[in-house]
Amino acid sequence: MPNMDNQDIEKRETAVQQFYIPDPFARSGGLWPLNTGLTRARPSYHIGPRLLEYFNLHFIRDGQLEISYSGQHIVLDKGDVFAMFPGIVYRYRRVGSTTTTELQMTWISFDGPQAEQLLNWSGFTPDKPYVRQVVNTELELVLRQLYTRQPVDERRQVEVCSLLYRIFSLMIRSAPPLRSAGQEVWLTRCMEYMHTHYMEKITVHDVADYVSVHRVHFSKVFTERTGLTPMKYLQKLRMEKAAELLQADILTIEEVALTLGYPDPYSFNRAFGKYYDMPPGKWRRRVSDNPT
């Protein structure tokens, strides 16, 4: 990027900004801030050509801005947002004269392995790096917290990272129900849900609700695909984990029962005995006497 004289920049805009240096803790995450700022642009405001090595978002809070990239020229209005991707040359300038509304923008530069995915989920791509009418009242409040100048300590680093995620959560459009994504998708997601939460008190109804599929249809398709009903599949997961915990011989039987979400040792003993044809205490002694 060509160097610009500070006086030249001052003729174009009034800006406040804050810089962040991502430490090893920040870089161990998925997203971290590099700098944030607020711009009030003068009629002569224009930036570029500009090429970044990181990602950037500009939130237009008032006025109009024209952006140019890859042969495209787009005029954005209040409430619109544009993104800058690494390796692409951008130019942007204020639209209008001294009698038109002043251009005001909040911007944030950031990086991290999750950055591009979050931008994509929010509707930004290198070919179309803008989304219209995104800035609402809730997002405006988060942006105000973002550019407030404060000492950059560990607390502020964590706070800004959380604000970054909050911004993306407000920009990402609601996804369609999983059922509309097709059978293979919601089956995979329900399996992931069951493998993650089987040690808690989840029911077949909870799993069907998670993938937004009617319980009867869910049970029918699941059973056809796996050869087990959803309830028996959950039981299988719990019993296999119970056997693993009993073999480790670290927890008492009561502790194993509670770990797997059973309300008391009696209900666990009954479920285990029905599955393995022997109570958990006997199963543990047999495994202990015959280690593999």
8 Å CB contact between 48 and 16: no
**What is the C-alpha separation between 281 and 243, in angstroms, rounded?**
11
282 by DSSP, 3-state: which?
helix
Q: Are residues 156 and 195 in the same domain?
A: no
> Is 0.95 surpassed by the pTM of this model?
no
**What is the C-alpha separation between 119 and 135, in angstroms, rounded?**
15
Q: Which two tokens stand for residue 209?
A: 């609700």
Residue 1 lies in a domain: no
**What is the C-alpha separation between 27 and 247, in angstroms, rounded?**
39
Q: Which two tokens stand for residue 269?
A: 């003993």
What domain count does the chain have? 2
Count Cβ atoms below 10 Å from residue 183 Cβ, excluding itself.
Answer: 12
- Identify the domain boundary among 151, 171, 191: 171
Q: Are residues 161 and 189 in the same domain?
A: no
Q: Which two tokens stand for residue 52?
A: 């970044």
Q: Write the pLDDT tens digit of every residue in 278-291.
A: 999 999 988 877 76
- The single residue listed with the structure tokens 């069907």 is 208
Residue 34 lies in a domain: yes
Q: Are residues 163 and 96 in the same domain?
A: yes
- Identify the domain boundary among 154, 171, 188: 171
Question: Which pairing describes strands 72-76 and 103-111: parallel, antiparallel, or unpaired?
Answer: unpaired
Q: Write the pLDDT tens digit of every residue in 185-219.
A: 889 999 999 999 999 989 999 999 988 889 999 99
Q: Write the pLDDT tens digit of every residue in 157-190.
A: 888 899 999 999 999 986 555 555 678 888 999 9
